[in-house]
Chain A
């Protein structure tokens, strides 16, 4: 199987994601340049974290116009797996591949810290190696991660079990205090209705090696690999 990591101008977790897929999980991994028009036969596309186009105008708002995004849209429509991490999640929202939008964090500051995440839906290509209620410890690093969607959309999201990961306490309670950035329903990870496009604010690539203090992020990559095998 083959992974592709997209580089937008301003991406800065591209090399980290590539490193983890290639050196930690030993998967065939390619960089995909945003100006290209070819996904080069990959099985899973990752939109990495960073500040695509400086996050000017609005996080992810300009990156959605990159030429390669047309291919990503078609790839997703065909059922291909798309993972958006942090800025990648914001790009997926701007692309309309996921519902909702991101507001500034509730404390109006950039937040970089480890958080606890409860797996709410373990039957996805991205979480199938976990169990519902399992708690993961993975870092976040963002300014705009306060998820919002209008009430009718939220109804849909809940009805379709699209909430995959939620900010929680270490024991899995989705309290207001654990909701670091103020997201509706403590949403940290959201999947589309078809179940092949996941956006998540936390960085699993930063928690995939023991030396970095947590290996809980491996679960996301392992799930994808297992799904594709």
Chain B
């Protein structure tokens, strides 16, 4: 008998329970209830987000597979396809930073190789609370070690990503992991069961009691009982996953697999039901045959376990032996645990008894969809900067402070813990606007970036959603890549609160508008709700991953200045508001809006101009203006030069220098070019109606910024670099 307490423990409402009873025509037993609770959890069912996610554009001539599979697939021309996705592992990473982050990497890797692709790159978007608090340093250190421990071992390079700091992440760090794989276009694999009679094989690691209720945990807020949830976090084994990866790809290459699904969130429950649902068949398994590493496990535990490094695959009777031979070569279990059957039910046997008998359709597709109420929060409108802060007396000091801000400072401390070079495709080391990976045997390269600014989203979620997409595409334009596809990870608070639901709706609609503007499909992603602890939600944090193609790698551009005497230009407007800027928040100490706005029409024009200028080989460098504004962007162009080249630029009389230097208005980049190319460059800009300003030139060894002949900033590149470079490691110095 299922009582109220049991329902609460399974995060199911009485109405949802009633629906289950109607769907199966009787009261479920505990194992069946567990199955429904997992598959109907927010994490697996998208019950609160579905109606909004439908607004996102998902199609295009380049799309081979949109949302609904383990990952999206984009046509790269010729014979290749890019397979990619981003996913969150926020909740586990807060409870157990190392294993939480590590298994996040393991999970996204499986999503990619399940589709038949060899993973070639990982990127992470990480958000932590301020580093002056020990707890945040401990979380960050654990998360970075976890990513490093898993990614390095399995041999997939972590080539880029972002790390942001804000107090809203102190009790809710975010770990969003992105993976990109390459597959032969005609050999993509899907989660399907095929015909009745097909054998179902369990491959990979043995099942234990770890991770039971992981998906349900990710669908609830945290309270003071956090410590008790630690056993819900799975433990990763990258070595086992490496074997699984090689064995699966080998079996796929030999044409031995009909369908395959990884056992990630919701384990055996999710993989069996989803494969059957997609083929319109039933599926039957015998739990006595499931490899187990603990004794006395109940059907409930086996079905709900989230033990890592496991897959379910379907083949035909005559190929079972060949599949098993490949897995034996890699020292892995491959056991027939059941069959695809006629009918529409999941049937689970345990010690000769039928312990589960439910329609897969009900489990997978008939979860109630919620149109949750939303309401615009009133207080945000009052958090607008009404009066300009007083003018800084010492710009050099402010500039130094900005360069030392952990969000802006160099992230080498993080990146050098990741193997970012294995597979020998990494052309740009981490730190460029986008990661660039050659495609061996072709003149082409792939470019990937992750982006999202939650401060903008807090003050204006719609603009913030647009900007996430626009800025990611701008990052690609800076290196010379055309965007092809987007994946998104939407991190929000509790969707049952109308204010959170409003944020979500606005962000999604903003993203949809931006994607349509760039003709870009969203091919999949992930929603992470309930990112709140003790009632305090994170800022709305959408993270987008964009994959683009560079036709001729030789033309790809880096952010750093190249030559003394090159001209420096600002593409785009000067900007006018300090709202939601990092300067206003961290230096002035006022967290105020409004968020920057993005003119998508102008944005597209500027990106196309940048791509054309790169194509015509007019530019020597290009770098996007983002956190910290023009001043920080200029400094980074100097840091990324080979020999600390300096720059001298002049500001116009308007706007005020603090606004000119530190605003984060959109559609702006700094480019450099040789004087001989200036005429052609200006002609092209004129025909394309691009707003631009000649800022100055690459010269000397200092960053010098003047206005009306007065020096405002004058700092040697070496000193500025030292500040930028040492800030992050200084937080982690071992104190003797």
Q: Which residues of A contact B (CB under 8 A)?
A: 9-10, 12-13, 15-16, 19-20, 23, 49-51, 53-56, 109-113, 139, 141, 143, 203, 205-206, 209, 211-213
Q: Is the CB of B424 within 8 A of A51?
A: no
Bound complex: CA of A113 vs CA of B440, how far in Å?
22
Contacts between the two chains (Cβ within 8 Å), count: 85
Q: Choose one: B149, B154, B238, B421; the contact of A141 (CB below 8 Å).
A: B421
B518 in the interface (beta carbon within 8 A): no
Q: Is the CB of A205 within 8 A of B424?
A: yes
Task: Known A9-B331, A141-B419; judge A55-B424 contact (CB<8 A).
Answer: no
- 21 A-B Cβ contacts within 8 A? A9-B331, A12-B242, A13-B155, A19-B440, A49-B422, A51-B152, A51-B153, A51-B155, A51-B242, A54-B153, A54-B237, A54-B238, A54-B239, A54-B242, A55-B153, A110-B149, A110-B152, A110-B419, A111-B417, A112-B421, A209-B424
Minimum CB–CB distance for A133 against chain B, Å: 24
Bound complex: CA of A143 vs CA of B418, how far in Å?
10
Q: Which residues of B contact A (CB under 8 A)?
A: 148-149, 152-155, 237-240, 242-243, 330-331, 415-424, 426-427, 429, 438, 440, 553
Bound complex: CA of A206 vs CA of B424, how far in Å?
6
Given A55-B153, A141-B422, A211-B438: 9 more A-B contacts, CB < 8 Å: A12-B154, A51-B155, A51-B242, A139-B421, A141-B152, A141-B419, A209-B424, A212-B421, A212-B424
* B148 to A, closest residue via Cβ: A110
Q: Choose one: B153, B417, B426; the contact of A109 (CB below 8 Å).
A: B417
* B246 to A, closest residue via Cβ: A9
Minimum CB–CB distance for B250 against chain A, Å: 12
The 9 closest A-B pairs by CB, nearest first: A12-B155, A54-B239, A51-B153, A141-B419, A16-B424, A112-B419, A110-B417, A113-B416, A110-B148
Minimum CB–CB distance for B505 against chain A, Å: 41
Minimum CB–CB distance for B334 against chain A, Å: 15
* B441 to A, closest residue via Cβ: A23
Bound complex: CA of A54 vs CA of B237, how far in Å?
8
Bound complex: CA of A178 vs CA of B486, how far in Å?
42
Bound complex: CA of A112 vs CA of B429, how far in Å?
11
Bound complex: CA of A110 vs CA of B414, how far in Å?
10
Contacts of A112 in B (CB 8 A): 152, 415-421
Task: Known A19-B440, A139-B421, A211-B553; judge A51-B416 contact (CB<8 A).
Answer: no
Contacts of B153 in A (CB 8 A): 10, 12, 51, 54-55
Q: Is the CB of B416 within 8 A of A10?
A: no
Minimum CB–CB distance for B373 against chain A, Å: 48
Contacts of A20 in B (CB 8 A): 424
Minimum CB–CB distance for B310 against chain A, Å: 17
Bound complex: CA of A23 vs CA of B438, how far in Å?
15
Contacts of B424 in A (CB 8 A): 16, 19-20, 205-206, 209, 212
Task: Known A9-B242, A12-B155; judge A212-B426 contact (CB<8 A).
Answer: yes
Minimum CB–CB distance for B205 against chain A, Å: 12
Contacts of A139 in B (CB 8 A): 421
Q: Is the CB of B417 within 8 A of A9?
A: no
* A17 to B, closest residue via Cβ: B424
